[in-house]
Structure 1
Amino acid sequence: MSERFLIIDDDPAFTRVLSRAMSRREFEVQVARSAEEAEQIITHWIPDYATVDLKMEGNSGLSVIPSLRSANPDMKILMLTGYASIATAVEAIKLGATQYLPKPADADEILNALHKVEADADVELTEQPMSVNRLEWEHIQKVLNENEGNISATARALGMHRRTLQRKLAKRPVKR
């Protein structure tokens, strides 16, 4: 019996490639294009592994993690996102994700992250501190998380116009 792998992501190209890669590795694969669709799938099909995209249409990927965890307490759950931040990583792990990876990530990186159980004290530390732009991104994500994703409340808390905040959130985060 093959292991089950659920991909929760709204990017059709990414899900097609990852689904094919996991099928080749002999996983039984299902794809959900939203957190809501994932909730429906797990009522009749319980996966052993799941990748969850953070930012999708409708509910955030964070919202489905507790349901995945309660459906199968031993499930390996990987939060995978192009909008990585410290705040969302912490929340994903608190909610029950096993690991957290920034996109882009290939099938081998995803499987390595899902199978990595022990923490690595020898993880490489960077010599360079975060740039001002990256610090701003991290702070915005933290305040957005504190306001449960409410853009207007976050803009008020940051003392900026709502449209300015929306423009900043629409951009990809800087790497460093």
Structure 2
Amino acid sequence: MSPLTSPSPYQIVKVIDEPPHLTIGPLMIWIHRRAYPFIDDWCDRNWLMSTCSIRIGEETMYLTGSDAASDELSEFLSSLRRLRDQQDSRVTYYPSSQAVLIDVVQAEDDCFAVCLRHRNGGRVDCEATRSDLHQWISELQAILHVFPRMTNQSPIGQSYGSPTAPDHLAPELDQNML
């Protein structure tokens, strides 16, 4: 068994029947719910239960758990906007969970080189266009509309909303999973 397919407590075998909420090349991420919605620590309240699937060569790996954080996704969204607006030429997203590291570099005006590195050492290099970049921004806005970044000023146990994402961009999440 290769290190990419070694058994993991986070590995899942069930296929998700809904489209992913964020797709970057062969990386697909589904966000299910907040991991700790009623805890007092606002940092912990930013952790989201997610499923991540990435295809590297012939192998597909799945991880599920509290591996995404809305504050980190918010920073990733801001970085992608700066890349879109040509204020930066590179976006690097290294989540605390270290499941998949994302590096996006502007190669030409409308072309981007994308490198996805799995925590077990696998790597995928692919290309993206400016329209892909716009799609990622929309998908992240939709996720953050439903699961916005929590701060120490955010009330516990109340419904969440984001003033930065329009209502029509909310992802269609399976209510049974929330």
TM-score normalised over the length of structure 2: 0.30
Structure richer in helix, relative to its length: 1
TM-score normalised over the length of structure 1: 0.31
Larger radius of gyration: 1
